[in-house]
Amino acid sequence: MTIHFNIYGRLVCSDNPLLMAIINATDDSFYAPSRCTGNYDILCMTEKALNEGADIIDIGGCSTRPSSTPVDLETEWKRVDMAIGTIRSRFADTLLSLDTFRAEVASRAISKYGGMIINDISGCCDSNMPEVAAASEVPYVLTFSEQTTATTTLTEEAIDFFVRKTDMLHKAGVKDIIIDPGFGFGKNVKQNWILLRNMQRLRILGKPILAGISRKRMVRHVLNCSEEEALNGTTASNMAALLNGANILRVHNVKQAKETILLFNQMTETD
């Protein structure tokens, strides 16, 4: 599937899966090496990610790890303002994604720095988010994060969720929507693996699929390992995601994910 979306008049088009590198301007995100609390760290991590093949830099200023308490809006804004400003000063043309569930934060960031993807893990809980995404003419990542106890009907629930929400977003004027199965959000380990196994079925929606599995509990639980030990399991899971239709991988470790995509491309290359 060819990926194409418009960011503030800039057309992004690719026949290959894209890599979204995680940079957290936080002090409590679940994987410590992804945390950047100063300009220098952000520049170093961004440069490393781009050199290793990242297509998009995903900036977050509010941890959404399980059992975390979100910081207030102004704290989140201060963090992402610093991070985006730092990246824009050195890497002006880099594609950015803003990991936020707050429409106000997204609106401020786009107004100040220009177009970027809105990566909303809440499933559009902020009622103002569709208006912000539509007015800004930027892609919106819609995440299936509803609490559910389903197993056998889980994939059907996900499809129903995406149909309802994408219809609402399109009616609000949002043109480009990326769907995210929401691994780790509102689901237990078994449910996460069911969704990954059946992710190919989400392609019926005709939207690019983003998979964010990197070092998450669904990997760590199976391997009985820590976040620091979960790279190998992440790499294997990313290959499974690609085989099941993922168009964008959201990752902590770009080099290994890039190699996974290269191998995937070789394996699926047609004569």
pLDDT of residue 29: 65
Task: Answer whether residue 65 shows pLDDT above 90.
Answer: no
pLDDT at 90 over 70: yes
Confidence (pLDDT) at 6: 84
pLDDT at residue 259 in the model? 98
Whether pTM > 0.85 for this model: the answer is: yes
Does the pLDDT value for residue 248 go beyond 70?
A: yes
Neighbours of 247 (CB within 10 A): 21
As beta bridge partners, residue 58 has: 22, 97
270 domain residue, yes or no? no
Per-residue pLDDT at 26? 81
CATH number at residue 70: 3.20.20.20
Q: What percent of the chain has pLDDT over 70?
A: 95
Residue 203: domain span: 3-265
pLDDT tens-digit series, residues 13-58: 888 999 999 999 887 666 666 677 788 899 999 999 999 999 999 9
Largest CA distance in the chain: 54
pLDDT number for residue 214: 95
Q: Give the pLDDT of residue 141.
A: 98
Mean pLDDT value of segment 58-75: 86
Q: Which two tokens stand for residue 69?
A: 């308490």
pLDDT of residue 32: 63
Domain count, the chain: 1
* Burial category of 142 from C-beta neighbours within 10 Å (exposed 0-12, middle 13-18, buried 19 and up): buried
Q: In this predicted model, which residue has the larger pLDDT, 64 or 250?
A: 250
- The phi, psi pair for 102, rounded to 5°, reads -105, 120
DSSP summary character for residue 226:
-
Q: How much is the mean pLDDT over the chain?
A: 93
Q: Which residues contact 64 (CB under 8 A, 6 or more apart)?
A: 70, 99, 101, 121, 185
Give me the pLDDT at residue 28, please.
Answer: 67
What average pLDDT score do residues 230-247 get? 97
pLDDT score recorded for residue 242: 97
pLDDT in tens, 169-220: 999 999 999 999 999 998 999 999 999 999 999 999 999 999 999 999 999 9
271 lies in some domain: no
Q: How many helices (H) and strands (E) are present in the chain, helices listed first?
A: 9, 10
Pair 217, 246: CB distance under 8 Å: no
Does 142 reside within a domain?
Answer: yes
Amino acid letter, residue 256 = Q
